[in-house]
């Protein structure tokens, strides 16, 4: 019973503090600790004739979802032929999106793509060849030591790993190189 009484008193103190700071919009009667102690048990803290505190939710979004950081206030308009509009509507419906949402996502995805840098593409292929050769030599040497043959699946796995990582690694190599150039580390 002491724990419940302490919790109740803390709650009353919080409500009174909020009332003093004008955080509560609805009129809430101030209670003393003795009034709160008398209402311990199954009785309500406030008399039945006092107005209830209406909780104003901070957001109308479901729990766990956050509001977008900024509102979309700009509009882009374009003209389409009926066939083009039908094509766009079909694509949006196929994606399960509204036409405006589908157009926005498609346009932003395209706008955010980096154009392919020929030097980066060549560097990516060169990195992939280096990665593949080093891993093939290592796998072949390990297989020879263990007295077994290198399986075709192992070779395909090395190739797939190389293909999956080559663009990312080439981009990282170029960024590192350009960063060192900017710091006076170039030759």
Cα 150 to Cα 155: distance, rounded to the nearest angstrom: 8
One DSSP character per residue, 40-78 reads: -SSS-SS-TTSPPPPP--S-SSPTT----SS--------
Most confident of the ranges 8-22, 52-66, 168-182:
168-182
Cα 158 to Cα 177: distance, rounded to the nearest angstrom: 26
The more confidently predicted of residues 48 and 176 is 176
Percentage of the chain beyond pLDDT 70 is 60
- Coil, helix or strand for 168? helix
Mean pLDDT of 107-130: 86
How is residue 85 annotated by DSSP?
A: H
C-alpha closest to that of 161 among 187, 185, 136: 136
- Coil, helix or strand for 126? helix
Q: Give residue 119's pLDDT.
A: 85
Torsion of the alpha carbons at 69, 74, 75 and 76, rounded to the nearest 10: -100
Q: How confident is the model at residue 44 (pLDDT cuts 50, 70, 90)?
A: very low
Mean pLDDT of 36-46: 50
pLDDT tens profile 125-160: 999 999 999 999 999 999 999 999 989 999 999 999
Q: In Å, how far are 29, 48, 125, 152, 153 from 156, measured between CA atoms?
A: 76, 76, 17, 6, 5
C-alpha closest to that of 126 among 169, 161, 180, 178: 169
Task: Give me 84's structure tokens.
Answer: 């083009």
Q: What is the mean pLDDT of the chain?
A: 77
Tokens 């395209």 found at: 110
Q: How confident is the model at residue 48 (pLDDT cuts 50, 70, 90)?
A: low
Q: Give residue 42's pLDDT.
A: 42
- Coil, helix or strand for 122? helix
């Amino acid at each position: 019973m002491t724990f419940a009484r302490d919790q109740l008193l803390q709650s009353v103190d919080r409500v009174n503090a909020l009332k003093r700071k004008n955080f509560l919009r609805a009129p809430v009667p101030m209670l003393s600790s003795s009034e709160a102690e008398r209402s311990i048990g199954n009785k309500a803290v406030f008399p039945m004739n006092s107005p209830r505190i209406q909780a104003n939710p901070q957001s109308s979004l479901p729990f766990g979802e956050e509001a977008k950081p900024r509102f979309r206030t700009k509009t882009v308009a374009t003209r389409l032929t009926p066939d083009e509009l039908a094509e766009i509507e079909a694509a949006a419906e196929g994606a399960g999106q509204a036409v405006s949402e589908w157009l926005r996502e498609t346009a932003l995805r395209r706008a955010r793509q980096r154009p392919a840098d020929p030097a980066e593409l060549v560097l990516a292929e060169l990195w992939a060849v280096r990665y593949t050769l080093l891993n093939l030599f290592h796998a072949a040497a390990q297989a020879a030591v263990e007295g077994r043959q290198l399986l075709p699946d192992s070779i395909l796995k090395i190739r797939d790993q190389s293909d999956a990582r080559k663009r990312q690694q080439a981009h990282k190599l170029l960024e590192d190189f350009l960063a060192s150039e900017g710091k006076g580390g170039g030759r």
